[in-house]
Structure formats: C-alpha cells, structure tokens
Chain A
Amino acid sequence: MFQNLQIDQELPDIQAVNFQPIEKDYRKLLLIIWSVFAAIAMIGLIILIISKLEALPGLAIVISFVVWSVLFFGLLLYILLSFPRRQYAVREKDISYSSGLVFHSTTTVPFSRIQHIEIGEGALERLFKMATINIYTAGDNGRDLKIKGLTKINAEKIKEFITQSIQDASV
C-alpha cells in the first residue's frame, strides 16, 4: 500500500497495545454528578409547573415528565455502556487515551511534544481519592489529552514517568 514506507523493523502497533481501563469508582462519580444535575432539572421543572398550574394543560405536564425520564435514563444507560470504552495506555515514548461509544476516538501524544502536565482534583474527585491528568502540547487547542478517573497515586506516577523520560531524552 505505501511501498515507500519500508522500515528496518516492524513498527510498534497501537492496536496491539494493552489499554488499561480507568478506575471503576469513576463510574459511581459520574452517576452521582449526573443524577444531581437531573435532580436540579426536576426541581426546576416542578417549580415551573406549580407556578403556572392553571395555565398548563395536563398533557403538557405528563409529556415534560416523560421527556425528563427518557433523557435521564438515556444518560444513565450511555454512561454505563460507554464507561468500558474509556481506556488509556502509556508506552515508552507516548501516552494514548481512547473513549466514546457513538463517536469513538483514540488520541496519542508523543512525550517529546508535551509542554506541561497538570494534575487536577475536583471536590468530588478528592472524595474518591481520584485525579484527572491534563496533558498540554503546543497543539492549537492546548489541552490535547485529558484522562479522567485515575487514582491520585496513579496519576502522580504517570506524571513522574513522563517527566523523567522527557528529561532523559533531553540530556
């Protein structure tokens, strides 16, 4: 196919890499966050209905509740089904992350292009002792790789590993 791409050795294959799943606890966290959002939406809906009770036909109220539950359960289903697709892999010279159910994507960033690495912890994440790793390159959109749902310790380890290998390479 690419007759000109003959290389001395077999290329490392991204498909053959053993991708790691992220922490199972992160699923709980996702479910909690979205349930809170859904609950807030429900409260808003109820307030709206009560304040305009006379003006609204009964059918509209029923429909709005049906829409809410379809959206909510659709969301839960999506979170549960797409969760196993969130995977990451660290190789000797690059880091990859793949995710998505309807639109699946895999991104790889070589260590040599990383500008800096950030570890972020939201309030809920801290509760679960988890962290998000943000990897910034000079790419146009800045933050090119973001892996959520790692344990704090694991995130630190990955950061340490990448920083070390960038330093080794520059010597």
Chain B
Amino acid sequence: MPQFDFSEFSRQSPKGIIVNYFVILFRVLKASWALLLLLLTRDEINWNLISMGVGAILVFVLIIAALQFWFFTFKIEGDQFLVKKGVIKKSNLSIAFERIQNINFKQNIVQQVINVTQVEIETAGAKTAEVSIKALSREQAEAMKAFIMSHQVESNHEAIETIDQTDSKPIVLLKIALSDLFKVSLTENHLRSLAILLSLFFSLGYQFEEIAERMELDTKLDTFLQENTTAVLGSIYLISMIVIFLLIVAVLVSTVRTFLTHFDLKVLIRNKALEISQGLLTKRNFILKKEKVQYIVISTNPLKRLLGIYNILFRQASSGGSDKTKKQKQIRIVGSKASQNEQLKTVLFDNKEAESLESHWPDKFYIVIMALRTSLFWACFNIFLYFNVEIFYVVLINAIGVPLAVGLIWLKYKKSYFKVDREMLIKSAGQIETHIIYFEFHKLQGLKVRQSIFQKRRGVVNLVLQTSSGKIQLPYIKEDQANHLYNYIIYKVETSRKKWI
C-alpha cells in the first residue's frame, strides 16, 4: 500500500472538480427542468438565446465547481480529522476519532467512470454534520480509513482483538446473480412500489401542473372524460385494462428500484463483521459490526417463500439527524437464502437458541379489538358506498371485502407471536408478508408498559421496547407475562457489560 501523508492540509484529487460539476449541474437541472420544458414547448424558439443561456450556466457551474474544489481541504492532526470548506461561507469542522462510528465508501456513476471514491464519515453525535469527501483515489481512501481505524484502536483497547485478524481471509456469504435479482424484483411488494410512484408524482405535481397548463392537457382530458363518462363507468373492460396497466407499471417500478439499489450485491464476512457492497448508478460500501447493528428484520412473502428467498434489513442507531440520514443508516439486502440467514445470525448474535423455543401469542382480546376497529371503518365505508353507488356494487364490494378483512385479521393474529431466550427476543409480525425481528436485550434503551382502561379489564398490556433504532412493540400480552418479561429484560440490560453501539 503506498504511503499517504495526511498531516498537512491537502485537496482532493483534481478529478473532484468533475464530481462537483455534475453534482451542481444535477441540482440545477432538478430545480429547473419544468422551466426548460416550458421553454422548449413554446411556439417560437429562439435557439441563439437558449444556447447562449445554457452556455453561460455551464461555465458558471464549472467556476463554482472549481472554487468548491479549491477551498475544500482536509488533514489529520493528532486524534482529530479537520476539514476546511466553503467558498463564501467558510466552515471549519473537526471530528475527534473516537466520535467516528463508521467510514463508508460510495461511488455514483460519475465517480465510477473517472475512478474516484467518495468517503463518508459517520459520527455518533446528533448535531454534527457528517463529512463526505467526494473524490479520492481508492488507495488514498483505503489508506485514510486504515489510518483512522488504527488510531481509534489506540484509544480503545477493547477493539484490539479485531485488528489482530486484519489479514484473515474474507468469506463470501452472498453474491447475487442477475437472474436472482430478477426473481427478487418480481416478488417485491408491488403495491408499495405503486404507492412510491404515486407519491413521487404528487411531489412533482406542482411542476407537472405548470406544464400541463401550458400544453392545455387538462382541458383536453376534461373533454375526453366528459364525452366518455358513460362508457367509462359501464365498461368493465376498461377497468381491467387499467388494472393490468397499473400492474405492469408496478412491476417495472419494483424492478428498476431493486436494480438501482441492489445490483451486484455482495456480502462478505471479514473479522467478525459484515462487508456489504451494492448499487448500480451509485455503488455503496458498508461495514456492519455486530455491536453497531441494533436489530435485524428478516422479511418474506408467499411468493418469496416459494423461491426460498428473504430480504434482510439491518437497523443501526439513528438518534438525531434528519429523516434522510436515518433512512441511509438502515441497510437492506435482498435475495438471501435460509442457510445464508443462519450464517448471518451466527455472525451478529452470540446465541440463537430462541428459534427452537416455544412461541407466545397475544391474548385473544387482540383479535376482538382489531375486529372492532375494522368493523367501525367498514361501517362508515358502507354508508359512503350506499349513497354513492348502485346497490349491486355495494353487495359485490362487501362480498369480496368482508372475507378479505376477516382473513387479514386472522393472518395478523397468527403472525404476531414472539419467542424469548436468555439473550434475545424474536418477534414476528405481518399479514401477507412476514417480518421477523431479532433483537438482543442488551441493546435496549428503555422499556415501557402501556395499558388502556379496556386492556385493564382484560388484564392485558402492550410492552414497548425502546431501541436506538425505533420501537419494538409486543401488543396485548398478559399482565403477568409482561411483568415477568419487564423484570427480566431490565435485569439483563443492567447486568450486561456488552457494548450496545
């Protein structure tokens, strides 16, 4: 490994200008694409003016990119990582090594083409911004990471054992093939994909409205609808066409989403930690250490179960920070087989005898409450239907909806069980999908027991485990069982000497 000197303030690789350039350009385009479309749809287009304007913007962006590059410098001083940045608004950042939680590598498409790596330094503090250095050579990035990691160890004796094994060979746990990725895409939750697409449309709605107005789309649509309303309502043919169309769109969206984030997914086990890399346009690298993972969720659905594949979500500590950074800290992998799940659990958890233990279901009162809530909603829905559609459709919708609702409630109850052993909780949830949470007690932050007056009469409570990555709730369990668990979990946390982050 070549030597790099981090003791003086230095700049990134000059290729950083290119990275900055595209980042800024992308931001400009994102903010103004509607305006551009508007200009291009005008009747008379003054090409001279437009090309001059575009040229000026491109030059301007280049200047900003170069300035940003020039004023971004970093160095390592003692146990501190220092960054100076900013063209007009200068800022100085210093991060103590001990605060650094993780150093991740990332490559978007531009960075992949010009062969530079983005280094992201994650800190534990709630208010400190995370630092990202956009363009380093791979060697330089690796050297910096190794340097910081090794100096972290000096101040932290517990971690020394991991350094001893630096040379140990990694084991490839999971490497996803293209065909597997297609299987994963086809079996994703397409309803969710559709919902994401819709919310995207609504968030862009404002910009769309502008264009639609310009092109008089809405008036055309209105006249079309007016002329065809009678046909639309009567035609089951058209409705089924729409359903098929939406289904195709949803599957497409799922496929694109899956490929974008999980393309070339690789999971390695090295030094008792997981190394994950994945992504098509933006390639991301993570290292997951067992103490950093707060809990994992293994999910599947009937189709996936048929193929024997699971999605796994790794939840990391996320206190503070924006929703965006919170989301980035939840790492998902796809297409894992049952045997691979087992291997993963062996890496992350000390023991997993709980799997074979007895399952505990909530009190039956849980079903009653779910049924009551659903009936209330269903009654309101029926009143609405009664006044708005023909009686034939009301009967039809009820004939489909009621058995469906009953089935879903039953599934939800059947799937909400939990198992407990000395060290961990295994909790299942879901209706069509199945999500199984694996949580080790010593990662707990706080414990809560909640009881409404209705629950009191039945002698049941909700037990809420607060973790640094969200809550885990055990609904409607018997009072004595809950109390026993409460005392046990608190006892476990207070006697544990294991690191929880």
Contact = CB atoms under 8 A, between A and B. Distances in A.
Identify the interface centre among B126, B357, B449, B469: most chain A CB within 10 Å of its CB.
B449
Interface string A123-157: 00000000000000111111011000000000000
Given A102-B452, A104-B456, A144-B466, A2 B446 contact: no
A106 B449 CA distance: 5
Contact count band on A: 20 to 34
For the complex, would chain A's binding face be called helix, strand, loop or mixed by DSSP majority? mixed
Interface in B366-416: none
B486 interface: yes
A2 B494 contact: no
B446 A11 contact: no
A147 B103 CA distance: 38
Contacts of A112: 493-494
A25 interface: no
Contacts, number: 105
Interface in A1-47: 1-2, 4-5, 7, 11-15
B447 A108 contact: yes
B226 interface: no
A109 interface: yes
Nearest to B450: A105
Contacts of B10: none
B448 A13 contact: no
A122 interface: no
A94 interface: yes
B469 A2 contact: no
A74 interface: no
Contacts of B467: 139-140
B312 interface: no
B494 A110 contact: yes
Contact of B451 (A7, A93, A105, A145): A105
Contact of A102 (B317, B422, B445, B453): B453
Interface string A100-121: 0111111111101100000000
Nearest to A16: B487
Interface string B431-466: 000000000000011111111110010000000001
Contacts of B494: 93-94, 110, 112
B422 to A, nearest CB: 6
A109 B486 CA distance: 12
B466 A5 contact: no
A113 to B, nearest CB: 5
Contacts of A12: 487, 490-491
Interface in A58-109: 93-94, 101-109
Nearest to B483: A15
A138 B317 CA distance: 8
B327 to A, nearest CB: 13
Nearest to B493: A110
Given A102-B453, A138-B319, A142-B319, A11 B487 contact: yes
A13 B487 contact: yes
B interface majority secondary structure:
mixed
Given A1-B484, A4-B353, A109-B446, A140 B471 contact: yes
B481 to A, nearest CB: 6
A140 B484 contact: no
A115 to B, nearest CB: 8
Interface centre among B318, B446, B468, B471 (most CB of A within 10 A): B446
Nearest to B319: A138
Contacts of B493: 110, 112-113
Contacts of A108: 446-448, 486, 490
Contacts of B501: 138
Contacts of B448: 105-108
A14 B483 contact: yes
Given A102-B452, A113-B446, A137 B483 contact: no
B472 to A, nearest CB: 11
B365 interface: no
Contacts of B487: 11-14
A45 B148 CA distance: 64
Nearest to A137: B445
Interface string B313-328: 0000111100000000
Contacts of B447: 107-109
Contact of B446 (A102, A104, A137): A137
A103 B450 contact: yes
Nearest to A105: B450
Given A5-B422, A102-B453, A113-B493, A140 B446 contact: no
Contacts of B317: 138
A127 B357 CA distance: 56
B420 interface: yes
Contacts of A102: 452-453
A140 B452 contact: no
Nearest to B317: A138
B451 A13 contact: no
Nearest to A104: B451
Nearest to A3: B358
B22 interface: no
Interface of A: 1-2, 4-5, 7, 11-15, 93-94, 101-110, 112-113, 137-142, 144-145
Given A14-B487, A137-B445, A140-B318, 7 more contacts: A5-B420, A5-B422, A112-B494, A113-B446, A137-B466, A138-B445, A140-B471
Interface of B: 126, 317-320, 353, 357, 420-422, 444-453, 456, 466-471, 481, 483-488, 490-491, 493-494, 500-501
17 contacts: A1-B481, A4-B420, A5-B420, A11-B487, A14-B486, A93-B494, A94-B490, A101-B453, A102-B452, A110-B490, A137-B466, A139-B445, A139-B468, A140-B319, A140-B466, A142-B126, A144-B445
Shortest beta-carbon contacts, A-B, top 9: A139-B445, A138-B468, A137-B445, A139-B466, A107-B448, A105-B450, A11-B487, A109-B446, A144-B446
